[in-house]
Structure 1
Amino acid sequence: MNTHHAGPQQGEHDASAAAPSTVGVHRPAPDAKTIRKAVAASAIGNATEWFDYGVYAVSITYITHNFFPGQAGTLLALSTFAFSFLIRPLGGMFWGPLGDRFGRKRVLALTIILMAGATCCIGLLPTVSAIGLAAPVLLILLRAIQGFSTGGEYGGAATFMAEYAPDHKRGFFGSFLEFGTLAGFALGSLVVLLGETFVGSQGMNDWGWRVPFLLAVPLGVVGLYLRTRLAETPVFEELEAAGKAEKSATMGLRDLVIKYWPSMLTLAGLVIALNVVDYTLLTYMPTYLEGVAGLPNQTVLTIMFVAQFVMMLVIPFAGALSDRVGRKPMWYASLIGLFVMAVPMFMLMAHGFWLALLAFAVLGLLFIPQLATISATFPAMFPTQVRYAGFAITYNVATSLFGGTAPLYNQAGIDAFHNDLFPAFTMMGACIVGLVAVRFMRETVGASLRGTELPEAKPRAAAGNSRRVLSRNS
């Protein structure tokens, strides 16, 4: 097998002729109860991470008031949000190789502690009125810690989930990682909405904004407990038993890029498409709906919560569908749909609650086929011994440049060009990049993640023929 090539023809060969080499004696497959625990541990940890980010996104008004007062306050608050993403590649470069050497579980325990601790500290910060310039400086420092921990959290959680999931149900089980993402965002919106309802805007500005950040502590404790109760993934245990985990730690960034640049380049294109849409919809949208569309804050929070909750309900079904039809068709449908509908839906958003909710829901549901298949698709683009590092580094570099900065450059684009549809155009551009990347993406349905070579997918056509033969014989 050629491990250097990432073209679509790789998955077209017969699986029996191109099966990946094993790295040791196969561990027995985990039972259903263990898989459910692994899914819960990954999803709740991811929910904690994105609750932290989601709370910041829907609290921009309060953050601006307390840390960046003045005419450019919103842009400064969004810049602070973007800054944490610039730190993420450093986290990926630090945590990724550690995860490939010492295991996914240990690193994920450390990242969730850092994330929850930094978020809690944001809720305890003095404001600019109390300590002056030191307040925003401390906020930026804590956002940097969040970014550094997230650089290892997401790639590790997706890898952990993918390596525990059965090959034929990886799309379904993997979708629960993003179920956790949406749950974190939805919970953040709900908590802030409840605060607005019960203590009012003035109370939230004065002290209520702190409460959602402090809730990161109990969420982090639950996620940490679940993760430390699990064994390491069977796939990593095989690598470790073969003595190749130690060897993978000696591979530097240069060697990783030289050997796996096709996979890294393809993944970067997919991540650009995914995260420009993701951060435009899930983090910038509260600012857009309130500042550009002119909707009241409580209305915006209601739209965010309802739409994110609906997306949560749909995402497992999309993951299960990808196990049947493949990841590539799901991505093509999502990218083409978003490209066509971005401008019309953004045009609807300025026309009141119901049309804004409809527009957000349409874009969110079109985005689901991408979001649901991340854990099934991205980790499978790298072999076991470099999976954590290859995924974490590539994902975080692309996200830091194009994803987490989306709220900032969308707002800056609207201000510079006086065009409220600017975010729609950035989404369309990202979809074009994604369509090119999908062309070179390897289909991963049915592929085993065991082995030190890139896994091959099982041809669905052959599998379908086998089912039809069995059906006729029966």
Structure 2
Amino acid sequence: MRPVKKIYKPMNINDITIIDDDKLKKAITAAALGNAMEWFDFGVYGFLAFVLGKVFFPDASPSVQMIASLGTFSVPFLVRPLGGIVCGILGDRYGRQKILAITIIIMSLGTCSIGLIPSYQSIGIMSPILLLIAKLVQGFSVGGEYSGAAIFVAEYSPDRKRGLMGSWLDFGSIAGFVIGAGVVVLISSMISDVQFERWGWRIPFFLALPLGAIGLYLRHELEETPAFQKHVEDMEAESKVNLRNSPKLSYREVAGKYWKSLMICVGIVIVTNVTYYVLLTYMPSYLSHNLHYSENHGVLIIIAVMVGMLFVQPIIGMTSDKIGRRPFILGGSTGLFLLSYPAFLMIQTNSVGFIFIGLLILAILLNCFIGVMASILPAIFPTQIRYSALAIAFNISILIAGMTPTIVAWMVEATHNLNMPAFYLMGISLIGLWTGIRMPETANKPLRGETPTASDRNEAKEILSEHFDTIEQKVEEIDEKIADLERRRQILIDQHPKLD
């Protein structure tokens, strides 16, 4: 059977999608708010780990209480790949907007329900079991949340601003974490320790309900992304059937054809989230339990560092649109290997200034990763499998990274070495270095398999002109290679008596 010849046609200005600025702002706001709520829960849970250990595991020693509460934080990551599979399949079939509306409902209900669970003293073993169920519900919804939100923003963003626009997604993460930590500090400062352990810790979880309602409203009002709409139109034009009935690649075929993209995704997510969980989930317990530092004092320092991260985040995203994404993955990984140990030595000095500097070093390195992750990951997969492939790879990676607080806490308790978190980060940084070397540069390029997108018609004209310049350059390079081959051919002919 002869292969079908692919027909290429010249690109024109109408092939470049112009992104509506108002729709872009709404998409970023809605996506970032959902991400903020996810990390609001992580922030609250991380800063309440010491109290939750007492509430749900009162019979254990303080060390075991902390490990158990952090373990409950980690277990839901086991169900995230399932959530990623379900949400990814549905997201590639029915659209991104619908699935993101569903995930935020499930996530807000799961978070709010934690505040309703009676203590261990009231209902015994059912208390930690209900806590685990609530965390599993969260894990399922979060399995499709970040991937879908990153894709939603990426598919709405102009090619030249995708780094900046994507950085706002994790801006929402940090903001949610800061708000969660700030709420914990505010409530604990207003009531006594006894009142806080009895009922005060529940209040932050109840706030997830109104936050979820706002996020649902914003997401419900959004239109589907231009990239997915175009994908639907193309599929219907080619197959003349509804998209739901079109053939799909199996996961085995996806893994075989896109294994390089999957490995890059796994590497970026692991190095980013391990750093994230060490700094923002494990560190509060490390300061209070292992270093015996004042809980509120330590929390305030971390909050100050995170507020600084908020200002750095969009700067890194915008800079990546100028110099590329790879320099930040490579630079962040190198810094993690060289500076993690000095940073933890500073954190252990019991000096507020040195603790702040140590945390700030880790925070800036984390910014290098989260400032570009949301713009890299969606760009390495084609539209028809983007949600499902990214969600599965992302959540398998999170399954590994999510165990970080529990593993690091156990390592410190088992070895009595306070530097074990630094050694753990140094080992993880090697994954980041390998990924940075292997990954393709995605800055200022269309999403994989897509036509370019622009902010306005003038930018579209510039992109078209650059596209033609690139073609001309490639043609010149091919002409040079042909001329060189002709010369080599003639040399060989001249050496043969029967060839002319």
Report the TM-score when normalising by structure 2.
0.84
Aligned residues: 438
Question: Given residue 290 of structure 2, which amino acid in structure 1 is its aligned partner?
Answer: V
Per-residue deviation, 1:169: 0.4
Q: Decide whether the 8 Å contact of 2:17 with 2:452 is kept in 1.
A: no
Q: Decide whether the 8 Å contact of 1:100 with 1:248 is kept in 2.
A: no
CA root-mean-square deviation? 2.2
Residue 216 of structure 1: aligned partner = 208
Q: Does 1:42 align with 2:40?
A: no
- After superposition, residues 333-348 of structure 1 pair within 5 angstroms as 333-348=331-346
1:212-236: CA deviation from partner (whole Å, max 9, x where unpaired): 0000011111111111111000000
Instruction: Pick one of 132, 135, 139 that aligns with 2:131.
Output: 139
Per-residue deviation, 1:249: 7.0
Q: Does 1:57 align with 2:75?
A: no
Residue 411 of structure 1: aligned partner = 409
Residue 372 of structure 1: aligned partner = 371
1:157–1:450 distance in 2 versus 1, CA, 3 Å: same
Residue 317 of structure 1: aligned partner = 315
Structure 2, gaps ≥5 residues long:
1-7, 237-242, 454-462, 470-500
- Partner-residue secondary structure (3-state), 2:442: coil
1:454–1:212 distance in 2 versus 1, CA, 3 Å: same
Residue 430 of structure 1: aligned partner = 428
Question: Given residue 282 of structure 1, which amino acid in structure 2 is its aligned partner?
Answer: L
Question: Given residue 93 of structure 1, which amino acid in structure 2 is its aligned partner?
Answer: I
In 1: Cα distance, 2:423 partner to 2:96 partner: 38
- After superposition, residues 84-103 of structure 1 pair within 5 angstroms as 84-103=76-95
Greater RCO (Cα-Cα under 8 Å, separation 6 or more)? 1
1:185–1:118 distance in 2 versus 1, CA, 3 Å: same
- Partner-residue secondary structure (3-state), 1:378: helix
1:76-111: CA deviation from partner (whole Å, max 9, x where unpaired): 111100001111111111111110110010000000
Residue 446 of structure 1: aligned partner = 444
- Partner-residue secondary structure (3-state), 2:115: helix
1:28–1:193 distance in 2 versus 1, CA, 3 Å: same
Report the TM-score when normalising by structure 1.
0.89
Q: Decide whether the 8 Å contact of 2:348 with 2:355 is kept in 1.
A: yes
Question: Given residue 135 of structure 2, which amino acid in structure 1 is its aligned partner?
Answer: R
Q: Decide whether the 8 Å contact of 2:380 with 2:448 is kept in 1.
A: no
Question: Given residue 387 of structure 2, which amino acid in structure 1 is its aligned partner?
Answer: Y
Residue 127 of structure 1: aligned partner = 119
1:247–1:316 distance in 2 versus 1, CA, 3 Å: farther
Q: Decide whether the 8 Å contact of 1:290 with 1:296 is kept in 2.
A: yes
Residue 241 of structure 1: aligned partner = 233
Residue 299 of structure 2: aligned partner = 301
Q: Decide whether the 8 Å contact of 1:240 with 1:246 is kept in 2.
A: no
Residue 383 of structure 1: aligned partner = 382
1:185-209: CA deviation from partner (whole Å, max 9, x where unpaired): 1001100010111113222111100
Q: Decide whether the 8 Å contact of 1:239 with 1:384 is kept in 2.
A: yes
Residue 478 of structure 2: aligned partner = none
Q: Does 1:229 align with 2:231?
A: no
Q: Decide whether the 8 Å contact of 1:348 with 1:355 is kept in 2.
A: yes
1:415–1:450 distance in 2 versus 1, CA, 3 Å: closer
Structure 1, gaps ≥5 residues long:
1-18, 467-474
Q: Decide whether the 8 Å contact of 1:380 with 1:454 is kept in 2.
A: no
Residue 207 of structure 1: aligned partner = 199
In 1: Cα distance, 2:253 partner to 2:22 partner: 39
Per-residue deviation, 1:73: 1.4
1:200–1:248 distance in 2 versus 1, CA, 3 Å: farther
Residue 11 of structure 1: aligned partner = none
In 1: Cα distance, 2:344 partner to 2:153 partner: 34
- After superposition, residues 157-168 of structure 1 pair within 5 angstroms as 157-168=149-160
1:451-473: CA deviation from partner (whole Å, max 9, x where unpaired): 36999xxxx9x97xx9xxxxxxx
Task: Report the structure number with the largest CA radius of gyration.
Answer: 2
In 1: Cα distance, 2:42 partner to 2:365 partner: 22
In 2: Cα distance, 1:27 partner to 1:167 partner: 10
Point out the more displaced range, 237-246 or 359-368.
237-246
In 2: Cα distance, 1:127 partner to 1:193 partner: 21
Question: Given residue 228 of structure 1, which amino acid in structure 2 is its aligned partner?
Answer: H
1:270-310: CA deviation from partner (whole Å, max 9, x where unpaired): 21111111111111111111111221110121022111111
1:249–1:50 distance in 2 versus 1, CA, 3 Å: farther
- Partner-residue secondary structure (3-state), 1:419: coil
Q: Does 1:355 align with 2:347?
A: no
In 2: Cα distance, 1:248 partner to 1:361 partner: 50
- After superposition, residues 450-461 of structure 1 pair within 5 angstroms as 451=449
Question: Given residue 268 of structure 1, which amino acid in structure 2 is its aligned partner?
Answer: V
Q: Decide whether the 8 Å contact of 1:86 with 1:400 is kept in 2.
A: yes
Q: Does 1:66 align with 2:55?
A: yes
Q: Does 1:274 align with 2:266?
A: no
Question: Given residue 118 of structure 2, which amino acid in structure 1 is its aligned partner?
Answer: P
In 2: Cα distance, 1:82 partner to 1:351 partner: 29
Per-residue deviation, 1:252: 2.6
1:26–1:141 distance in 2 versus 1, CA, 3 Å: farther
Q: Decide whether the 8 Å contact of 1:172 with 1:320 is kept in 2.
A: yes
Residue 186 of structure 2: aligned partner = 194
Q: Which runs of 4+ in 1 moved over 4 A?
A: 19-22, 25-28, 452-455
Residue 77 of structure 1: aligned partner = 69
- Partner-residue secondary structure (3-state), 1:373: helix
Point out the more displaced range, 361-370 or 185-194.
361-370
Question: Given residue 297 of structure 1, which amino acid in structure 2 is its aligned partner?
Answer: E
Q: Decide whether the 8 Å contact of 1:311 with 1:364 is kept in 2.
A: yes
Question: Given residue 408 of structure 1, which amino acid in structure 2 is its aligned partner?
Answer: T
In 1: Cα distance, 2:308 partner to 2:81 partner: 31
